[in-house]
Structure 1
Amino acid sequence: MRTDPVGRFLAALGPGEREVIGARPRREQERLAAAWERELETDDELDTLDELSPPAAESEAARRVLDRETGRQPPAGGA
């Protein structure tokens, strides 16, 4: 199991997103990973999802962080 926040964050991303974020400077990766960890800690909806599927909760938190932190538009029908 990965303990490095950046490694865990990158693992929660889809393959295409992982490649794009992995090519960014380490400092930006660390900033995004910190935002991802805050999302996991503070969002009650993710707590419920985490009980059912921790990987799904981590992936959802990563998607939300990328949407918010990079200005990316969420998919239609998404949160």
Structure 2
Amino acid sequence: MPIDTVERFLAALDPHHREHVQGLPREEQEKFAAAWEKELWQDTDLDTLSELSPAAAESEAATRVARKLME
């Protein structure tokens, strides 16, 4: 069974941000996950990192999104 985007986003987050996002309504979690996918797609610096470590690129993008949207 495929993992949905919200679950992938939550898995990529560090524990502190994950706890915060998990406490949000599902619609907000989906907003964060969509922004995360956009960050992964658009940031060319993450392309290089993803070639070395896909998990690290996903984590970096998740942290960036969480910081932006939690401000």
Q: TM-score range by the shorter chain?
A: over 0.9
Tell me the distance in 2 between the aligned counterparts of 1:14 and 1:66. Answer: 10
Deviation beyond 4 Å, 4+ runs, structure 1:
none
CA shift, 1:3, in A, is 2.8
Counterpart of 1:76 in structure 2 is none
Q: How many residues align?
A: 71
Measured on the aligned residues, the alpha-carbon RMSD in Å equals: 1.4
Query: 5+ residue gaps in structure 1?
Result: 72-79
TM-score scaled by structure 2? 0.92
Pairs within 5 Å for 1:1-79: 3-71=3-71
Query: 5+ residue gaps in structure 2?
Result: none
Amino acid at match of 2:47: D
More helix by share: 2
